[in-house]
């Protein structure tokens, strides 16, 4: 990792695909209710097995993902996730300038697959205290490392690739709910139609004096979907550019289909305007994936095992999974 030009390219790749989402708790609550928080998510997830997902783009399975909650004796909880892209379609995902920069370098790196593992630490009061994310790019383990720590209301975030590192500090609202665009949210409890909250989207591409792109999350409607061969009712959460942020207010950035008990069944995000869907696998298919994962989720998944689980996810996604039912209100 001593090749500085390559390190710069790796950082560009990460910046272009993995912006951090910060869903801030708004005081006072906006319109209908408050946004979900870690305390509720941890309480409602304590007895659940890991959630597993098939990642699809244009109807084709390109990877898998898994989330797990672990509770420690001291009352501390850890949220782990693995995200694996087995066939990353660079031509379709990346804008022309980025693909042109990456291709000459990545052509010598065997098959372009990407694994991202993350860990978030929640204190006994349901507050996020620290998080970390590590990205393997092809055969480069820990090609990118991201670490964050909350000190009061200040987030200190460090991104490192090889000898290159950058550190930023930002103020966050209390009880911030943090994730990233390419990690599915397993639960979003206590939703009601009409509920709204703001979502500051951190992006390194924005000006250093204005690094947040404000989105607005709205529980817009209830929609029936097919999941595990059955029709279930869901709340549809839509994330759009906030009218006060300079972004187009009707620009849909992401959508979630959340079952009435708070279980997220599907998450759709736009990666360079290309929709990527995380479809939750039914319990029996999910079990075959998380049972095969190493016991220590803080460690990287062996590359060969990731490929094997990718094939399992591909087969599972072709069976009983998530399927939206077309409605008159669909875009």
User: So what's the pLDDT on residue 290?
Assistant: 92
User: So what's the pLDDT on residue 159?
Assistant: 79
User: So what's the pLDDT on residue 24?
Assistant: 40
**Mean pLDDT calculated for residue range 290-301:** 92
The answer to whether 306 and 84 have CB atoms below 8 angstroms apart is yes
**Mean pLDDT calculated for residue range 274-278:** 88
Instruction: Tell me which DSSP letter residue 305 carries.
Output: H
- Percent of all residues in the chain with a pLDDT value above 70, rounded to a whole number: 67
Strands 60-71 and 212-227: unpaired
31-35, 187-191, 208-212, 324-328, range with the lowest pLDDT: 208-212
User: So what's the pLDDT on residue 106?
Assistant: 57
**Mean pLDDT calculated for residue range 125-131:** 87
- Percent of all residues in the chain with a pLDDT value above 90, rounded to a whole number: 30
How far apart CA 50 and CA 56 sit, in angstroms, is 19
User: So what's the pLDDT on residue 326?
Assistant: 53
Mean pLDDT of all residues belonging to the chain: 77
Confidence of residue 28 (pLDDT cuts 50, 70, 90): very low
> In angstroms, how far is CA 83 from the centroid of its own chain?
8
User: So what's the pLDDT on residue 234?
Assistant: 97
User: So what's the pLDDT on residue 14?
Assistant: 56
pLDDT over 90 at 5, yes or no = no
**Mean pLDDT calculated for residue range 227-247:** 79
Q: Which of 54, 50, 75, 73 is nearest to 64 (CA)?
A: 54
How far apart CA 186 and CA 81 sit, in angstroms, is 10
Burial of 121 (0-12, 13-18, 19+ CB in 10 A): middle
Q: Is 246 left (phi over 0), alpha (psi -120 to 50) or beta?
A: left
User: So what's the pLDDT on residue 83?
Assistant: 93
pLDDT over 90 at 245, yes or no = no
pLDDT over 70 at 256, yes or no = yes
User: So what's the pLDDT on residue 182?
Assistant: 76
Both tokens of residue 80? Answer: 């782990």
User: So what's the pLDDT on residue 156?
Assistant: 82
Neighbours of 118 (CB within 10 A): 22
Domain boundaries, the chain: 4-324
């Amino acid at each position: 990792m001593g090749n500085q030009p390559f390190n710069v390219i790796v950082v560009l790749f990460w910046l272009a695909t993995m912006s951090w989402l910060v869903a801030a708790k708004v005081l006072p609550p906006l319109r209908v209710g408050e946004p979900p928080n870690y305390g509720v998510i941890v309480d409602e997830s304590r007895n659940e097995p890991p959630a597993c997902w098939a990642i699809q783009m244009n109807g084709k399975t390109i990877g898998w993902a898994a989330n797990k909650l672990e509770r420690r004796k001291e009352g501390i909880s850890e949220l782990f996730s693995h995200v694996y892209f087995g066939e990353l379609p660079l031509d379709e995902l990346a804008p022309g300038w980025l693909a042109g920069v990456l291709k000459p370098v990545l052509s010598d790196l065997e098959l372009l697959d990407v694994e991202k593992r993350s860990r978030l630490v929640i204190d006994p009061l349901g507050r996020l205290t620290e998080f970390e994310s590590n990205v393997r790019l092809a055969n480069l383990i820990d090609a990118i490392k991201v670490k964050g720590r909350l000190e009061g209301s200040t987030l200190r975030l460090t991104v490192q690739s090889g000898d290159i590192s950058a550190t930023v500090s930002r103020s966050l609202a209390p009880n911030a709910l943090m994730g990233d665009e390419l990690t599915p949210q397993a639960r979003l409890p206590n939703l009601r139609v009409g509920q709204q909250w703001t979502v500051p989207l951190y992006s390194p591409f924005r000006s250093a004096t204005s690094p947040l792109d404000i989105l607005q999350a709205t529980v817009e409607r209830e929609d029936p979907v097919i999941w595990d061969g059955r029709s279930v009712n869901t709340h549809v959460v839509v994330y759009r550019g906030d009218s006060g942020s300079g972004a187009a207010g009707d620009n849909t950035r992401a959508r979630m289909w959340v079952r009435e008990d708070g279980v997220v069944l599907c998450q759709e995000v736009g990666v360079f305007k290309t929709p990527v869907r995380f479809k939750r696998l039914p319990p029996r298919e999910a079990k075959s994936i998380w049972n095969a994962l190493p016991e220590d989720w803080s460690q990287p998944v062996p590359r060969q095992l990731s490929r094997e689980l990718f094939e399992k996810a591909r087969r599972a996604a072709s069976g009983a999974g998530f399927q939206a039912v077309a409605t008159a209100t669909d875009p």
